[in-house]
Chains A and B, each alone.
Chain A
C-alpha cells in the first residue's frame, strides 16, 4: 500500500494575481511558530493580497509530545498527570475528564463530597482561565493594562489552588475514585473572599475593556461563525455557544453536581468576535453563581473512595467520557484490554483542535489585524491542539 503524504506545497495553491490594478501578486507570510498571539508554538501560513487575508492554513505540531502514546506505558493513575499539560489552563477539568472516564469504565463510585469539590474546583478554574483569556485578549489587541489585571485576578484564584492542591498549574488533583487530597480547612472561607473580590472586578472589566470603543470596533461583526458552520467544524465551548447553539455539557448531560446548581448558558446572537468575547465574560458571572450556590453545602465524607495504591481494573472494551472544559468538550476514549494496568490506546478529543480550524473560515476576507482578534476570541491553547 502506498501512502501519499501531502505537504504544505500540495495544499497551498500557487499565489494568484492580486485584485488590484497595480502589478502586484499574492504572497505568503508565516504567523508563528513564534508569534505573540500564538500563545504557544502555532504556525499559521497566511496567503495575503495586500493586507487582505485570502487563506489561512494552520500548521500545528510544534508542541506535539505524544501524550496519547505515552499514556500506553503509564498506569491509569499516572496518565492523569499528563493531561495537566494539554490545556494547562483547564488542568483540573482535564484531570476530571480522564478520571471520570476511568471511573465509568471501571465502575468506581464516588461520593457527593468528591463530586461537589470537583465541581467547585472546575468552576474556579474556568473563572481563572477566562480571566487570563480576557487579559491576554487585551494584550493581543494592543492594550497592555488588562493583561496585568487579568493576571492579578488569576493569582487570587491560584492561591486557593495552591493551598489545597499544592500546585499552581499542573494540578494532578482529580484522581480516579476521588481527589489527591481533601480541601484545605481554609478553602471555603478563602473562596468566599475571592468571590466577593472578583464580582466587582468583572464589572471593572466592562469599564476598562468591553466598553472601550477601540475594542468594540475591532471585534464587532468580525469573523462571523454561523451556527451551522460551527457545528460542522466541531467547535465546542464558548466558540459554539457564541454562534447561538446552547450546547453545554454542564446543562445537557450534567456531570458532577451541576444539576443541583441554577445557572444559565450564555449564548451569542450573531457569532462574531464580539459575541465570543461577551459569552466568556458572561460565563465568568455564571461560574461565580455556581460556586456561590455550592460553596456552603459541601457534604461530608472521605475525599477518596479508592485507595491510592489500589489497582484499578478497567474491563476490556472501548470507553468514552467527556467533560466541558473552559474551551469546550474534552472527549476521552479509552481502549482497555482488561488485563494490563495501562490503557491499550488512549485518544483525546481536544476542544482546541476543532476550534482552531474555525480560523480558516473566519479569517478569509478580513485583514491581518483581524486574524489577531479572531484567534484571541477563539482562545486557543496550543499544547491542547498538539497534545
Chain B
C-alpha cells in the first residue's frame, strides 16, 4: 500500500449557507514507519517507470501525428475555422450582394467591402477585402451573412514572407451576385457586368500595394489560393 490510498476518499454532507452540499474529501497521508515509507517510495518510482516504459513498448497507444509528413492525409473537421472564402454557385457567380452585414459583425474590422454602381444593379461588389493578419476566426461574419455567401475553410497553412500577402480580395470578379446575373438572359451582357479581380491589390493599406521603398506585389496569376483553395501563392514582390 502506498502512503496515500487514493481510494481513501470520504463522502459526506456539509452545509454551506444553510444548504447541504455533498462533498468528497480527498485522500491524505497515512502515518507509517520509516522503512515502510522508504519501501513505498521506491515502489512508487518503479510503478511510474513501468507505466512510462509500457508506452515505449506499446507505441500504438501514442497519438503523435507526423505533421507535415502527413499533409496528404491530414483532414480537418469540416467546420474548422481557418481561411475565409466567398461562396460561388455552379456558374462561378458569387452569392455576396455586398450588403455589408459581415463587415458590421466583424469585431476588429478585418473585412472591408468596397462597392460601386453596377450595370445590372444599382450597387454591386467591387472588392471584398479580408485581412487574415487581423482576423481572429470568430466566425461572426459567416454567421451574420443572410445570403450564406461566406464560409470558413480548414485551410490553415498561412505562413508567408510578406505581410501584404495576408490581405486578400476574396471575390473573383467585381459585379452583381448570382441572383441578379441569372435574371439577365444575355450571356454577353452577364460577362460584361463582371470585371475580374485579382487576389491582391486594392486601396486598403498593405493590400498588395506600394509601400515606401517596397514595390507593389506581383502575383503569379495561376497560383491563386482564393480561387483554387490550394496552398497559399508564393507571391513574389517584383
- Give the interface of A toward B (CB within 8 A): 74, 77-78, 81-82, 145, 152, 155-156, 159, 162-167, 170, 172, 180-181, 184, 204, 206-214, 216, 220, 245-248, 251-252, 263-270, 274-275, 278-279, 281-282, 286, 308-309
Contacts and interface: CB of A to CB of B under 8 A. Distances in A.
Contacts of B42: 213
A377 B45 CA distance: 22
B23 A266 contact: yes
Contact of A162 (B3, B77, B101): B77
A167 B63 contact: no
A190 to B, nearest CB: 11
A180 B143 contact: yes
A248 B21 contact: yes
A348 to B, nearest CB: 17
B51 A216 contact: no
Contact of B144 (A275, A278, A308): A308
B11 interface: yes
A134 B138 CA distance: 29
Interface residues of B, number: 47
Contact of B26 (A170, A172, A246, A275): A275
A254 B41 CA distance: 42
Given A207-B48, A251-B21, A252-B17, A81 B140 contact: yes
Interface in B23-49: 23-29, 40-42, 44-45, 47-48
- The dominant DSSP class at the B interface is mixed
Interface of B: 2-4, 6, 9, 11, 14, 16-17, 19, 21-29, 40-42, 44-45, 47-48, 51-52, 62-63, 76-77, 79-81, 101, 105, 107, 136-140, 143-144, 146, 152
A78 B140 contact: yes
A267 B26 contact: yes
A211 B2 contact: yes
A278 B26 CA distance: 6
B22 A264 contact: yes
B20 to A, nearest CB: 10
Contacts of A172: 138-140
Contacts of A207: 47-48, 51
A210 B4 contact: yes
A216 B4 contact: yes
A112 B107 CA distance: 29
Contacts of A281: 26
A167 B16 contact: no
A206 B6 contact: yes
A152 B3 contact: no
B3 A246 contact: no
Please name the 8 residue pairs, one residue from A and one from B, whose CB atoms are nearest each other, closest first: A213-B41, A278-B26, A166-B79, A78-B107, A81-B138, A264-B24, A166-B81, A246-B21
Contacts of B146: 309
B16 A278 contact: no
B143 A282 contact: no
A7 to B, nearest CB: 34
Contacts of B105: 77-78, 309
Given A166-B77, A212-B45, A309-B101, A279 B21 contact: no
Contacts of B45: 212-214
Contact of B136 (A170, A270, A282): A170
Contacts of B2: 211
B138 A208 contact: no
A206 B3 CA distance: 13
B77 A163 contact: yes
A167 B76 contact: no
Contacts of B79: 162-166, 181, 184
